[in-house]
Amino acid sequence: MFKALLVGAGGMGNAWARNLQANSDMVNMVGWVDIRENAAAESAEAMKLTLQYTGTDLQKALRVTQPDFLVDVTIPEAHRDVTITALNAGVHVIGEKPMAHSMQAAREMVQASEKSGKLYMVSQSRRYDGRLHAYKKLIVDHIGDLGILKSDFYIGAHFGGFRDIMPHVLVLDMAIHTFDAARFLCDRNPLNVYCEEFNPAWSWYKQDSSATALFEMDGGLRYTYCGSWSSEGKNTSWESEWRAVGAAGTALWDGGDDIVADRVTSSNGFTSSTAAETAQPIQIKGGINGSLHDFLNALQTGSVPMGECHDNIKSLAMVFAAIESASTGRRTPVTVW
């Protein structure tokens, strides 16, 4: 049984509390911290949780509860301090995406994990999607090594609130999911990117809500991202729509259950003859439940989970390189370290 300390009592913090509760056969939630007075206590009471500590003092919570791991569900600007505090106290950490609000902060967090010898994992929860895993298997089994990868993300998202005025709202707030999925699908590392951000004339966002980015990945692969949060009608899935092209054919995924490929069978004509291949979603634990199970398995076995900080920082680097490219108008290296 692992003891867990939760930090953050907002909407996602409450979702994580329910996730921990749902896995009470493996996890005992022992404390809850939030910077707002009484927020953690009120949430714990609403969920009928009996905890050793609720309050605003993280250091005290760590001393009182002696957790095995901490779940960081704070705002991105707080991730560095919360995570490093826990790691320095000898506590494993699983935190919400994005890893940090800057690359420098992210590097310091990775260094703290190395120094402490404790696991730090980012819950990149959309990786735990059986359809994504089925799509990757279809690529591996029938398409082979990729040279072209493309994703389209178009949703007319009327959030209201801070996102309506947020700089780089699409790239910073959402694209990390898609960039991370691209890395997962192609098993390549990013080298550089050229990105343009823009805002259609009708957009209800104050700043750029749309973007196109071309990444060069190692091995010569090109990954193209096209997206908009101000695209009305014919919305894509939140998982994007995908095209993957290799020497042996092309695989498509609509972000839902339609996972198909054309596999080359003969190259004698003007266009090659192909055979259709399909895939069914793979049954895995999804979302933050999948993240938690992967994390706990890593603690039990020493395996490396998806989202481990040395890997996830590469997805974060894609985000900040794309933003720099859009800001400067130049092709920009994706610098991890």
Local structure of 281: helix, strand or coil: coil
**pLDDT, tens digit (0-9, with 9 covering 90-100), for 44-64:** 999 999 999 999 999 999 999
Q: Which residues, at least 6 apart from 172, have a Cβ–Cβ distance to it below 8 Å?
A: 98, 166, 319, 323
Assign 230 to helix, strand or coil: coil
Quick one: which of 293, 91, 42 has its CA closest to 32?
A: 42
Answer yes or no: same fold for 2-118 and 130-283+317-333: no
- Which CATH number, 3.40.309.10, 3.30.360.10, 3.30.43.10, 3.90.1150.10, labels domain 130-283+317-333? 3.30.360.10
Mean model confidence pLDDT for the chain: 96
pLDDT reported for residue 269: 84
Mean pLDDT of the 311-326 span: 98
**What interhelical angle do 11-22 and 287-301 show, nearest 10?**
60
* Residues 259-287: tens digit of each pLDDT: 999 999 998 889 999 999 999 999 999 99
Give the mean model confidence (pLDDT) for residues 127-155.
97
Does pTM surpass 0.85? yes
pLDDT of residue 268: 84
Class of domain 2-118: alpha beta
Residue ranges per structural domain of the chain: 2-118, 130-283+317-333
Share of the chain above pLDDT 70, in %: 100
* Residue 71 binned pLDDT confidence (cut-offs 50, 70, 90): very high
CA dihedral 263, 268, 270, 273 (to 10 degrees): -30
Q: For residue range 79-138, what is the model confidence (pLDDT) as tens digits? A: 999 999 999 999 999 999 999 999 999 999 999 999 999 999 999 999 999 999 999 999
* pLDDT tens per residue, range 1-12: 999 999 999 999
